[in-house]
Every structure is written in structure tokens, then in C-alpha cells.
Amino acid sequence: MHRTTINLDEGVYRRVKRVAERNGESMARTIESLLKSALYDAPAAKGRVPLHGGNGPNRGIDIADRDALYELMEGR
């Protein structure tokens, strides 16, 4: 196992903290799980919204709206 320090945007930090609390996990375990999911899950996993169309974001995806992106990725 490797240790590292990461800098998180305040909004990202709050979201990860909520997920960790909801799942009864540490922040480190939650971040690791989220990274594993992003790295190893099939791109077209059930319930996922395709955010990227090859040449840029799909229509209706505002990459500047971080909260909306996270909601889309979480399937809300």
C-alpha cells in the first residue's frame, strides 16, 4: 500500500465526506473505492450517463458545473 497526499476542491471534499459517512467508511477507503470504480468499471456500466462523446462532452453536459457532473455520475 502506498500513502499519498491529495488536494481536493472544497465541493469534492464535502461530497466524498458525505459518501464516507453514509457508508460508515473512512475518507481514505471511500476515495480508494471511488478511484477503483473509475479505473476498473466498464465504461457503459448500467445506470451510467455517458459524459464524453469522443470529441468532447456530450450535449447538455456542462463540464464547468462540478456538482451537476457528480450528480450525473452518481446516477441521481
As a whole number of Å, the CA-based R_g of the chain is: 14
Q: Would you say residue 33 lies in a domain?
A: yes
Residue 70 lies in a domain: yes
Q: Answer whether residue 3 is part of any domain.
A: no
What domain range is 40 assigned to?
10-74
Question: Residue 26: inside a domain, yes or no?
Answer: yes
pLDDT in tens, 58-73: 666 777 788 877 777 7
20 part of a folded domain: yes
Contact 47, 75 (CB under 8 A): yes
Q: Tally the domains of the chain.
A: 1
- Please give the DSSP secondary-structure letter assigned to residue 58: P
Please indicate, yes or no, if residue 1 is contained in any of the structural domains: no
**pLDDT band at 5; cut points 50, 70, 90:** very high
CA pair distance 76, 74, nearest whole angstrom = 6
User: How many CA atoms within 13 Å lie on the side-chain side of 60?
Assistant: 4
Residue 65 CA: distances (Å) to CA of 33, 57, 61, 68: 23, 12, 9, 5
Which pLDDT value is given to residue 14? Answer: 92
- Residue 20 · residue 14 · CB < 8 Å: no
* Structural domain contains residue 36: yes
